[in-house]
Amino acid sequence: MSCKIVGLIGGTGNLGRGLALRLAKASQEVVIGSRCKEKAETIAKEITEKIGREIKGLTNIDAARASDVIILTIPFEGIRNIIEGISHHLEGKIVISTIVPPVFSEKSAAEAVKELLPRKVHLASAFHNIGYRALLDLEKDVECDIAVCGDDYAKKVAIELAEKIPGVRAFDCGPIENSRIIENFTHLLIYMNKRYRKRDISFRFTGI
């Protein structure tokens, strides 16, 4: 499936900006959502000027309404308020969670998202371990593999989007419950970046 419009909910944060930039650079139509429309418009203008392709900045609600695929790049603490605010515009669509809990958890953020979504929504989780600085640096490919969990339909679309980013490979890593493994592993990557004074330590799957 080639999706028409991808909406970055909470897209003015670091990861949202990075994904919007890379996807738009790959000719994917994207819109940036934010609680503050003016902030979304500012980031959209910056990306438009950088790549020479118009990006729109909208409220989260309008971005969800306009999009076929919604990527959640929001803080863990904002899951309930933001999803409840856009839920009427998610029916039948694909939602991709990039969210990581602030501490190691037996329950994944993706599972918390699933509990709040309308029943007829396709859910995947992805992009947890991709460094935003690597995304923002258009001079280099992103050296990263992406683990994608969720239902088959949503995973297919998430993998397709991830592999629009030069250097990225994406893999089907099972049902949404497996997202807890990937999300918790992200905490290890954060530690390693601090320990070794790096910015974009990630992982690669070998033998595949």
Per-residue model confidence as pLDDT tens digits over 81-119 = 999 999 999 999 999 999 999 988 889 999 999 999 999
Rounded CA gap, 110 and 99, in Å? 7
Number of other residues whose CB lies within 10 A of the CB of residue 134: 20
Confidence of residue 28 (pLDDT cuts 50, 70, 90): very high
Residue 89 per-residue DSSP state = G
Answer yes or no: is pLDDT of 128 > 70: yes
pLDDT digits (tens, 9 = 90+) for 30-42: 999 999 999 999 9
pLDDT category at 24 given cuts 50, 70, 90 is very high
Dist CA 50 CA 47 (whole Å): 5
CA angle 94, 70, 37 (to 5 degrees): 155
Tell me the HSE value of 165 on the side-chain side, using a 13 A CA sphere: 29
The average pLDDT across 1-24 equals: 92
Would the pLDDT of 2 be above 70? no
| Distance set, CA 23 to CA 47, 55, 130, 175 (Å) | 11, 11, 14, 25
Q: How many CA atoms lie within 13 A of 69 on its CB side?
A: 27
* Residue 1 predicted with pLDDT over 80: no
Instruction: Measure the CA–CA gap between 8 and 155, rounded to whole angstroms.
Output: 17
Give the number of other CB atoms < 10 A from CB of residue 13. 17
Q: Taking a C-beta distance cutoff of 8 angstroms, is the pair 142, 164 a contact? A: no
208 CB contacts (<8 Å, ≥6 apart)? 171
Strand ranges for 35-112 from DSSP E: 56-59, 69-72, 94-97
Dump pLDDT digits (tens) for 50-85: 999 999 999 999 999 999 999 999 999 999 999 999
| Domain map (residue ranges) of the chain | 5-195
pLDDT at residue 3 greater than cutoff 90: no
pLDDT average, residue stretch 195-208 = 92
Percent of the chain with pLDDT over 90: 94
Kindly compute the dihedral angle of the four CA atoms of residues 22, 108, 188, 33, in this order, to the nearest 10 degrees. Answer: 30
User: pTM for the full model?
Assistant: 0.96
86 Cβ neighbours under 8 A, 6+ residues apart: 9, 60, 61, 64, 70
Give the chain's mean pLDDT: 95
What is the tens place of the pLDDT at every residue in 186-200?
999 999 999 999 888
Domain 5-195 has CATH 3.40.50.720: yes
